Structure 1
């Protein structure tokens, strides 16, 4: 059972999402504004937040930023069709994924499971060699078992998507991955239109791990192809 905080001001959407998730065995707490949502975050202690962007008073973008300042809980944006600019800004503010409203219970369930899996270390593959638990890449130290990343000895606070993206890219230094490949491996999506998820996450990750995000040493762009890790 997943504890889900739904921050959404539309009563019809609140009712529909709550019913769909509760039918699937999840515990749901609802909040009709950003202010009450932040209060519920401390009281309810959810495993995941579903966040509408168009909220009365405090905007969903501000709510997302404030949550990210305090903790790295998975955040999925609920986006209305046509709100592409707000949705991209929401991703840049720290959200892990987005779902276009109205969304079926099956879609919500799939996106929630995909985000929550980013918090769990991958099971070892007994058929092949196991990578070392801790790896050093320049100033970065990556611990794949503890799911910790340090830079110059200081632990970095990464959102679930940022962490999984870094783990995936750093597992094959120098190999170029297309946005589509990253969508399928990190976000478990297959729709190419969601490539903005990749670009927004790369931008946020660079802001945390690079000395100069404008000239990245770790997550590098290969124009016309995608992204690669290093080589350093």
Structure 2
């Protein structure tokens, strides 16, 4: 069926894969498994999964490398599964394009919550409740956001963004020149305020700027840092 949600669960521990599979199948999702990074990357490049749950530390190719290589080809939402002592690796995971993370030992209910949040954000209609009047295309100098097509362009070229990067840009664009604190962005864009790390916002802003900069330095410069406060989408007055 077209509306089936397909999720890839990647972990070298069969016990964890079985636990996640059981809870996610209760939600009606189709679950596939991979026990190492090489298998995960191969499957992720061949199949268009709706979400990937990816263990960070695995023998051979680890989760960061899998995500980095995947991001060269696809923007599939990725939730990284990490251990408590892997904070540095977790930040590295965000830098290569992870959308979210879950810390071991985790509650299966938390994982389901995060998966549902990612799926909601990656839906082509997920952002149409942001008030933009009747127009679903937002046009700024250097950046155009087509909400119906879930597409961002800069100077006529499409900018490939992950669901989280897209939502962050769209949220900033919903109120141009308004400054948002990192705490507010984490609460409103990530849709929770009790699990998050403020550096999550910083790393996503960094990646968003880097991607826009490939097409237009002016577009990248529109994502403005207000020191000591937060971030805003600054629209040129020209």
TM-score normalised by structure 1 residue count: 0.91
**Per-residue deviation, 1:203:** 0.6
Q: 1:4 to 1:171 in 2, by over 3 A?
A: same
* Residues 1:161 and 2:164 are matched in the alignment: yes
**Per-residue deviation, 1:188:** 0.8
**Per-residue deviation, 1:131:** 5.0
Structure 2: gaps spanning 5 or more residues:
none
Contact conserved, 2:128 with 2:136, CA < 8 A, in 1?
no
Tell me the number of residue pairs that the alignment of Structure 1 and Structure 2 aligns: 229
**Per-residue deviation, 1:158:** 0.3
* Residues 1:223 and 2:227 are matched in the alignment: yes
Q: 1:164 to 1:55 in 2, by over 3 A?
A: same
- The partner residue of 2:152 within 149, 152, 161 is 149
Structure 1: gaps spanning 5 or more residues:
none
- Match of 2:115? 112
- The partner residue of 2:179 within 171, 176, 181 is 176
Contact conserved, 2:6 with 2:29, CA < 8 A, in 1?
yes
Tell me which stretches of 4 or more aligned residues in structure 1 moved more than 6 Å: none
- Match of 1:82? 85
**Per-residue deviation, 1:28:** 1.2
1:130-151 Cα deviation digits (max 9, x unpaired): 1522222221111122111111
- Match of 2:105? 102
SS, match of residue 118 in structure 1: helix
Contact conserved, 1:124 with 1:130, CA < 8 A, in 2?
no
Contact conserved, 1:33 with 1:55, CA < 8 A, in 2?
yes
Q: Distance in 2 between matches of 1:145 and 1:45?
A: 20
Give me the CA root mean square deviation.
2.1
- Match of 2:208? 205
Q: Distance in 2 between matches of 1:138 and 1:87?
A: 35
Contact conserved, 1:176 with 1:225, CA < 8 A, in 2?
yes
Q: 1:53 to 1:216 in 2, by over 3 A?
A: same
SS, match of residue 232 in structure 2: strand
**Per-residue deviation, 1:22:** 1.8
**Per-residue deviation, 1:56:** 1.1
